[in-house]
Chains A and B, each alone.
Chain A
């Protein structure tokens, strides 16, 4: 059972435009969500997080939105830059140490 789903395996966006990466979850016990970015041959890099008591968290060009009723979160990158091209993983956690990751979305930002 996939508790965290990233249904788009890939996404292409023009440089300067908005990138929107989506994530759905099924576990209502999740109370914390994180986004990670991963380049090939490197470990995931923490990007931004959101607690379930919030519906939005912003950090520079990155904003995460959480819709608890829909069990959906999204990561917005504005403006998108070629250096943002990577695989983005969404992860959910439920008060233990354990994070459950989605399968990732490969973002390609076209110059």
Chain B
């Protein structure tokens, strides 16, 4: 099973809303990632969790708040977003330390109105 699942698939939210994106994997991977991808651009790393601890934050604005409740789950809490935050948000996981292949979920298409 090399599946990473993400919910919801699509999300439309206003600038004053609070919402959360969810990601789950059952491959026993110990590293999980959030990426943001705009149209016709490569994925851009936002956060990395290793063994459920935040290890990399790529200077992401505080209106994005990641959470890793356990080794299988990764959340991204959203609050007071801007229209320019509209993008495809991708979750990925990998076996752990070092460079192992990252497996991506299908993404959540977020639109901020």
Contacts and interface: CB of A to CB of B under 8 A. Distances in A.
Interface string B94-113: 10001101111111010000
Interface string A35-60: 01000011111100100000000000
B99 A31 contact: yes
Contact of A97 (B6, B31, B43, B104): B31
A111 to B, nearest CB: 25
Contacts of B31: 97
B56 interface: yes
Interface residues of B, number: 27
Contacts of B104: 36, 43-46
Nearest to B33: A97
Q: Please classify how large the interface on chain A is, using the bins under 10, 10 to 19, 20 to 34, 35 or more.
A: 20 to 34
A46 B90 contact: no
Interface of B: 4, 6, 31, 33, 40-43, 45, 48, 50, 55-56, 90-92, 94, 98-99, 101-107, 109
Given A41-B107, A43-B6, 6 more contacts: A34-B101, A41-B109, A43-B92, A46-B101, A97-B56, A97-B99
Interface of A: 4, 31-32, 34, 36, 41-46, 49, 89, 93, 95-99, 101-104
16 contacts: A42-B107, A43-B4, A43-B91, A43-B92, A43-B104, A44-B43, A46-B101, A46-B103, A46-B104, A96-B56, A97-B48, A97-B56, A98-B48, A98-B56, A101-B42, A103-B42
